[in-house]
Amino acid sequence: MAAINNRATASAVALLFCFLAGILEPSFGELVKDQPLVLEYHKGTLLKGSININLIWYGNFTAIQRSIIIDFLQSFNAVDIPTPSVESWWMTTNKYEGGGSTTIVVGQQILDDNCSLGKTLKDDQIEKLASKVENSVGSITVVLTDKDVSVNGFCTSTCGTHKSTAGEDPVAYAWVGNSETQCPGKCAWPFHKPIMGPQTPPLVAPNDDIGMDGMIINLATILAGTVTNPFKNGYFQGPAEAPLEAVSACMGMFGTGSYPGYPGKVLVDNTTEASYNAHGANQRKFLLPAMWDPEKSACAPLL
């Protein structure tokens, strides 16, 4: 059983925080005032069909932490899952013209526990790590960095990115970092007090790991952006180098009634008091951000 979380927070002072706490990729955008939110389709290729999600575990992730990510990915196609579910959230991507039914499958996994390239990574090193996966055309390789790994732009301008390789057959790849010790108030909000704005009590993380539950939010954001805008010519608003995409356009929104600094109404587990809005595989619960619905031309949270 679950209850509805309708905890009120202060508002206007947190407007800037909405950007700082939002999951922006690849960098923070500019607030567009008094204009409807419309993600223009730039007629490029979208990813569709069966998509392998390859994972590069960079750092010392525990088996339990890895299981949170794997269960999330397996939730995209899980059967007999109560609604709202991860799958019902993902179905919105099927409404994007040029795309189609997408099936997420866990692909190859590579463990790099010893951080072979060091604990301070640049953009080209992320691509180098992603290139360890062979035969990756049509898939998405995601580099996941542990909490003690620093990545260029992490916590200052982004919580995760997606890009693609050059050439005739570009390959999509992405990166998401664990912000638990570096910037939980930015990249793990609303499971941590925000870095600025009203210091209201954070929500309880559904998988009892602020860093990993924050990574789920970021990973969901990046996957939706990658599928609907894999090569910088799909769906986005604003400049191609700093776009607002399927989920990053809806930053800070998790349930109905959300506003800057307040995630909106979400479900609360009566036993653990954890907040969530999506059921997943292996009885997991997740908090997923709202996604822009092209049929409604609006951000559509699950609740």
Is the pLDDT at 23 greater than 50? The verdict is no
Residue 303: closest CA among 84, 88, 75: 84
Residue 230: closest CA among 159, 298, 171, 168: 171
Residue 247: closest CA among 228, 275, 266: 228
pLDDT of residue 4: 42
pLDDT of residue 256: 93
Is the pLDDT at 7 greater than 90? The verdict is no
β-sheet bridge partners, residue 55: 109, 142
Element spanning 5, H or E: strand 2-5
Query: Which percentage of the chain shows pLDDT scores above 90?
Result: 81
- Which segment of 16-20, 47-51, 117-121 scores lowest on mean pLDDT? 16-20
Q: Which residue has the tokens 């179905």?
A: 91
Average pLDDT, the chain: 89
Measured CA to CA, the distance from residue 53 to residue 73 in angstroms comes to: 8
Is the pLDDT at 12 greater than 90? The verdict is no
Q: Which residue has the tokens 């999506």?
A: 278
Q: How confident is the model at residue 123 (pLDDT cuts 50, 70, 90)?
A: very high
pLDDT in tens, 154-193: 999 999 999 999 988 999 999 999 999 999 999 999 999 9
pLDDT in tens, 73-97: 999 999 999 999 999 999 999 999 9
Q: How confident is the model at residue 198 (pLDDT cuts 50, 70, 90)?
A: confident
Cβ neighbours of 181 (radius 10 Å): 10
Query: What average pLDDT does this structure show over 198-207?
Result: 91
Is the pLDDT at 239 greater than 90? The verdict is yes
Query: What average pLDDT does this structure show over 40-49?
Result: 96
Environment class of 43 (CB within 10 Å of its CB; exposed 0-12, middle 13-18, buried 19+):
exposed
Is the pLDDT at 67 greater than 60? The verdict is yes
Cβ neighbours of 40 (radius 10 Å): 11
pLDDT of residue 261: 87
* CA separation, residue 72 to residues 217, 260, 265 (Å): 11, 27, 22
Query: Which percentage of the chain shows pLDDT scores above 70?
Result: 88
* CA separation, residue 17 to residues 239, 251, 255, 258, 287 (Å): 22, 10, 17, 13, 19
* Angle at CA of residue 177, ends 271 and 303, nearest 5°: 40
* Angle at CA of residue 198, ends 193 and 201, nearest 5°: 40
Is the pLDDT at 24 greater than 60? The verdict is no
Query: What average pLDDT does this structure show over 266-289?
Result: 98
Is the pLDDT at 30 greater than 80? The verdict is no
Query: What average pLDDT does this structure show over 240-245?
Result: 95
Phi, psi of 87, deg, nearest 5: -65, -45
Query: What average pLDDT does this structure show over 5-18?
Result: 34
Measured CA to CA, the distance from residue 146 to residue 154 in angstroms comes to: 12
Instruction: Delimit the domains of the chain by residue range.
Output: 2-300
Is the pLDDT at 26 greater than 80? The verdict is no
pLDDT of residue 35: 61
Which ranges of the chain does DSSP label H, i.e. alpha helix? 15-21, 63-74, 86-90, 123-130, 184-187, 210-228
pLDDT of residue 303: 92
pLDDT of residue 2: 54
